[in-house]
Amino acid sequence: MQIRAAVFRGPGTPFEVRTVDLDPPTAGEVLVRIKAVGVCHSDWHLMTGATKHPLPAVAGHEGSGIVEAVGRGTSTVQPGQQVSLNWAPSCGECYYCTHERPNLCAAYFEPIWAGTMIDGTTRLSMDGLPLYHYCALGCFAEYAVVAEQCCIPIQSEVPFNVAALIGCAVTTGVGSVLNTAKVKEGSSVAVFGVGGVGLSTVMGARLAGASQVIAVDPLRKRLDAALELGATAVVLAGPEAMSTIRRSTEGRGADYVFEAVGIPSVQEECLEAVRPGGTVVFSGISPMGSVTNLSGAVIVRHEKTIMGSYYGTADPKRDFPKYAELYLQGALPLDKLVSKTYALAQINKAYADMLSGETARGVIVL
């Protein structure tokens, strides 16, 4: 079938909305009609060259939609179901899957980074040549063919915009609090960087019962959004950030500090912002090859714990419906994350708005 998709050709170039070819799903695959896709920094890393990936590609990894058709042997979803898309499919059988860490499953690692399906081929093509799938999904498009494991059925009452954000920002941010750090009730939390993932971290901290949630960001508009979503204090990134965190925590530093942007210099600040005996969590994706300079002497002498959080230490089959239900109950106001919606043809405008801070989370609606 022919579909419209946003094609990315190489670093430093904009998306091109083109008509491309999409083959039907084969065994264990699903055709999804895409309804909404979040505008995320991870795709921007692809555009700058900070993330290396075969090109040309269809990006987009934070999506939701409706199952249109399934390949043979597919048993977990059926046509007509609403799904959130999971960019970290897992096999269910390896060491990590059987030890409650499916987000670390390696079964799909090579094909994901090769931009292909599990069999090493693509379902997308353009002008007779392969077109690669980014993050196992490639959902900046009207339709996508994905592995069955990428489709997580979601409550039909959940708006597609919200269902899309559950597929990445929400699961990464809320999960970093609940699953990775396991923030304790009454704790103090600081969040550095309050884009989509950081704002989700703020919501997760309040859900966990944190008594203080301090948001740090260089953009006032994002700090305003953090206040609306539960931050108890906000501070512009810069010289005042550290003193504000210390004043708010009786001079100690925060119990938990989350870095949600993936900038090494900010990660280094987080080590200073956390109290002795506290925990720092990195959930932002840093550029490939980058290095963060953290003092081993400080880590040892102050017993500071450094943790990585990949996809919020998620089990998507468990967590996607859980976060959707918390949204429906009013405990996670996920709809407030959506600042603005765009048509697929406006994708370059959507990324310009993201970079300028105009949006907390933009969403492409199809």
Per-residue pLDDT tens over the stretch 114-129: 999 989 999 999 999 9
For the residues 231-239, what does the mean pLDDT come to? 93
Q: Is omega for the bond preceding 56 within 30 degrees of 0, making it cis? A: yes
For position 108, what pLDDT does the model report? 84
As a three-state string, the secondary structure of 80-141 is CCEEEECCCCCCCCCCCHHHCCHHHCCCCHHHHHHCCCCCCCCCEEECCEEEEEHHHCCCCE
Rounded to a whole number of angstroms, the distance between the first and last alpha carbons of the chain is 17
Q: Is the pLDDT of residue 240 over 90?
A: no
Q: Is the pLDDT of residue 357 over 90?
A: no
Q: H or E element: which one contains 205?
A: helix 196-207
pLDDT tens digits, 252-292: 999 999 999 999 999 999 999 999 999 999 999 898 889 99
Helices and strands in the chain: count of H runs, count of E runs: 11, 18
Which residue in the block uniquely carries the two structure tokens 């954000």?
A: 165
What CA–CA distance (Å, rounded) separates 59 from 136?
9
Which residue in the block uniquely carries the two structure tokens 């923030």?
A: 183
pLDDT tens digits, 290-311: 999 999 999 999 999 999 999 9
For position 109, what pLDDT does the model report? 85
For the residues 357-365, what does the mean pLDDT come to? 91
For position 146, what pLDDT does the model report? 98
Q: Is the pLDDT of residue 245 over 90?
A: yes
Read off the amino acid at residue 171: T
Q: Is the dihedral of CA 98, 100, 101, 103 positive or negative?
A: positive
For position 32, what pLDDT does the model report? 98
For position 160, what pLDDT does the model report? 98
Using CA atoms, how far residue 347 sits from 15, 73, 141, 287, 350, in Å, is 7, 35, 11, 22, 5
Least reliable range by pLDDT among 105-109, 166-170, 352-356: 105-109
Least reliable range by pLDDT among 105-109, 280-284, 300-304, 347-351: 105-109
Backbone angles phi, psi at 233, to 5 degrees: -155, 150
Taking 3-state DSSP, the helix, strand and coil percentages for the chain, each rounded to the nearest 5, stand at: 35, 25, 40
Residue 106: pLDDT band with limits 50, 70, 90: confident
Q: Is the pLDDT of residue 224 over 90?
A: yes
What CA–CA distance (Å, rounded) separates 51 from 17?
21
Q: What is the CA radius of gyration of the chain?
A: 20
What CA–CA distance (Å, rounded) separates 307 from 132?
32
Read off the amino acid at residue 5: A
- Structural domain 173-310, CATH architecture: 3-Layer(aba) Sandwich (3.40)
What CA–CA distance (Å, rounded) separates 58 from 17?
10
Parallel, antiparallel, or unpaired for β 233-236 and 124-126? unpaired
For position 207, what pLDDT does the model report? 98
Q: What is the DSSP string of 160-176?
A: HHHHHHIIIIIHHHHHI
Burial of residue 168, with CB atoms counted within 10 A of its CB: 0-12 exposed, 13-18 middle, 19 or more buried: buried
Percent of the chain with pLDDT over 70: 100
CATH superfamily ID and name for 2-167+313-365: Medium-chain alcohol dehydrogenases, catalytic domain (3.90.180.10)
Beta pairing partners, 66? 33, 82
Which residue in the block uniquely carries the two structure tokens 């550029």?
A: 287
Collapsing DSSP to helix, strand or coil, 299 comes out as helix
For position 318, what pLDDT does the model report? 97
Q: Is the pLDDT of residue 358 over 90?
A: no
| Beta carbons of 144 and 150 less than 8 angstroms apart | no
For position 314, what pLDDT does the model report? 96
Read off the amino acid at residue 321: P
Q: Is the pLDDT of residue 322 over 90?
A: yes
Average pLDDT value for the chain: 95
Collapsing DSSP to helix, strand or coil, 32 comes out as strand
Q: Give the domain ranges of the chain.
A: 2-167+313-365, 173-310
pLDDT tens digits, 34-91: 999 999 988 888 888 888 999 999 999 999 999 999 999 999 999 999 999 999 999 9
Q: Is the pLDDT of residue 176 over 90?
A: yes
**DSSP character for 304?**
-
Q: Is the pLDDT of residue 349 over 90?
A: yes
